[in-house]
């Protein structure tokens, strides 16, 4: 039995798509269990770039079953576009399963996301404006609509009518923006339901059956630990649970079934959207890493904020995820730096903090404590085993292990599948 959860250990965009794609070669099933099309996962195969938002990165392997489980919020128009895009690229989507229980992202969710960000003004969260927060709000408020509802027209009509009435009142009275018309939305969503019907399944049953049969199941986290609504830098977070425990809830799998948790760690740090980022580099050094690493959002195209590796961020991730291994990505982006810095902890009001602070007012005032390591100043993209890496790069990785207490299981030195160094059996 092998059920491996892969999570982002920082603020998202760590390279989860690349790592999942690499692991998928050995997987029988890959499951997305939280988030929605706020995620953007890039996979490069033989110079061809695939950008995925909802469909698990495992789809690029012909025999892997891919699952969008109950914890994901699904914008059906985006999902159908993604299916069409993959088919156009010659990738089969016949092995895609979609949970009937997954909640729908509706047009009023995106509008609510926008008016809410507007209202916050200078304090905005910098969301992806995909309606993800409002969709999870409706789920928690028990007025959300689910994918499976679309196959029950009368039931769907009654629920949509009720929720739309409330949303339209909110748009008119609180925000003074137009609302939505029932008939057009109802017809359009029923058509989406028909188009998605072939994919619908009781995904918890399918996933548990696969685990029970001894299949290798991979859980593909979206976003990152520090964007988790409980364990992230609240309120600058997303509205789901990117931590490993989220896989259990979001897929209907018990915690006793999970065998490994790998945290994907970018060799430096990036963040897109607003919120605290203690090791952020705002000057020319940050610009240099952003340009060298093409750090622009996969989903929104926004420039990503970048900074040094932060071990307090990673120790927090190791703890809340129960991480058993680290997959380091983008080590090659640091190839031309003379020296590198790693934050070992923070100074706050004269005291040294080793743990990542829980409260925003503290986090906003911490000053990172840095250790400086020599750079390697050579290209490492062709390395295929640890010993091929320059000594300085090996020392950087060893220090990362020391500071987190978690072993590194994989190192990625480029975008392509081939630019990958596995250090152990991964399943």
Which residues does the annotation mark as catalytic?
13, 41
> Which residues between 219 and 278 bind ligand IMO (CB under 6 A)?
222-224, 227, 238-239, 272-273
Closest approach of Mg ion to the CB of residue 18, in Å: 10
b/e for 164-189, b at 16 or more Cβ within 10 A? beebbebbeeebeeebeeeeeebeeb
Under DSSP, is residue 121 helix (H, G, I), strand (E, B) or coil? helix
Work out how close the CB of 296 gets to Mg ion at its nearest, in angstroms, rounded to a whole number.
11
| Residue among 270, 298, 321, 419 that touches Mg ion (CB under 5 A) | 298
Sign of CA dihedral 86, 91, 92, 96: negative
Alpha-helical runs (H) found in 141-242: 153-170, 182-196, 203-212
Site string for ligand GDP, 288-307 (x = CB under 6 A): ----------x---------
Which one of residues 148, 246, 263, 414 is an interface residue with ligand GDP (CB under 6 A)? 414
DSSP 263: E
What does 238 interact with, of Mg ion, ligand GDP, ligand IMO, none (CB < 5 to 8 A by kind)?
ligand IMO
13 lines the binding site for ligand GDP (CB under 6 A): yes
Applying CB under 6 A, does 8 fall inside the site for ligand IMO? yes
| Binding segment toward ligand IMO, per CB under 6 A, in 8-16, 282-290, 372-380, 383-391 | 8-16
Report how far residue 137's alpha carbon sits from residue 239's, in angstroms, rounded to the nearest whole number. 8
In the list 2, 13, 75, 295, the residue contacting Mg ion (rule: CB under 5 A) is: 13
Q: Is residue 270 near Mg ion by the rule CB under 5 A?
A: no
Residues 346, 38: Cα–Cα separation, whole Å: 31
The answer to whether the CB of 32 falls within 8 A of the CB of 20 is: no
Tokens at residue 385, please?
A: 């085993």
User: Which option in Mg ion, ligand IMO, ligand GDP, none does residue 393 bind, with CB closer than 5 to 8 A by kind?
Assistant: none
Handedness of CA 152, 155, 133, 78 (dihedral sign): positive
Query: Among 178, 283, 206, 239, which Cα is nearest to 31's?
Result: 206
Selected binder of ligand GDP within 28, 113, 274, 332 (CB under 6 A): 332
Summarize as ranges the residues that interact with ligand IMO (CB under 6 A).
Answer: 8, 11-13, 38-41, 125-128, 130, 132-133, 222-224, 227, 238-239, 272-273, 298
């Amino acid at each position: 039995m092998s059920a491996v959860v892969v999570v982002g250990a920082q603020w998202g965009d760590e390279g989860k798509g690349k790592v999942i794609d690499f692991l998928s070669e050995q997987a029988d099933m890959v499951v997305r269990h939280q988030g929605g099309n706020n995620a953007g996962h890039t996979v490069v195969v033989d110079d061809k770039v695939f950008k995925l938002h909802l469909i698990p990165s495992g789809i690029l392997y012909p025999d892997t079953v891919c699952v969008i489980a109950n914890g994901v919020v699904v914008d059906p128009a985006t999902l159908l576009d993604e299916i069409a895009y993959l088919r156009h690229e010659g990738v089969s989507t016949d092995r895609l399963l979609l949970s009937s229980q997954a909640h729908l992202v509706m047009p009023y969710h995106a509008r609510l996301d926008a008016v809410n960000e507007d209202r916050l003004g200078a304090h905005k969260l910098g969301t992806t404006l995909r309606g993800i927060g409002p969709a999870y709000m409706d789920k928690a408020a028990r007025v959300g609509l689910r994918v499976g509802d679309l196959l029950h027209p009368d039931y769907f009509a009654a629920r949509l009518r009720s929720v739309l009435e409330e949303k339209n009142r909110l748009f008119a009275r609180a925000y003074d923006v137009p609302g939505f018309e029932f008939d057009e939305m109802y017809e359009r969503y029923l058509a989406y339901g028909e188009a998605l019907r072939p994919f619908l399944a009781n995904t918890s049953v399918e996933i548990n059956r696969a685990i029970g049969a001894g299949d290798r199941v991979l859980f593909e986290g979206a976003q990152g630990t520090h964007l988790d609504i409980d364990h992230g830098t609240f309120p600058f977070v997303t509205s789901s649970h990117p931590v490993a425990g989220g896989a259990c809830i979001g897929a209907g799998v018990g915690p006793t079934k999970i065998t490994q948790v790998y945290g994907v760690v970018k060799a430096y740090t990036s963040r897109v959207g607003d919120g605290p980022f203690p090791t952020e580099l705002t000057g020319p050094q940050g610009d240099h890493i952003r340009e060298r690493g093409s750090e622009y959002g996969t989903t929104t195209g926004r420039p990503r904020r970048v900074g040094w590796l932060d071990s307090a961020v990673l120790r927090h991730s190791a703890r809340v995820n129960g991480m058993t291994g680290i997959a380091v990505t983008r080590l090659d982006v640091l190839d031309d730096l003379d020296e590198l810095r790693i934050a070992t902890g923070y100074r706050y009001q004269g005291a040294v903090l080793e743990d990542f602070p829980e409260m925003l007012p503290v986090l906003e005032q911490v000053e990172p404590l840095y250790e400086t390591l020599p750079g390697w100043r050579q290209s490492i993209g062709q390395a295929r085993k640890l010993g091929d890496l320059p000594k300085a790069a090996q020392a950087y990785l060893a220090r990362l292990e020391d500071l987190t207490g978690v072993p590194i299981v994989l190192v990625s030195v480029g975008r392509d599948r081939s630019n990958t160094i596995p250090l152990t059996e991964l399943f």
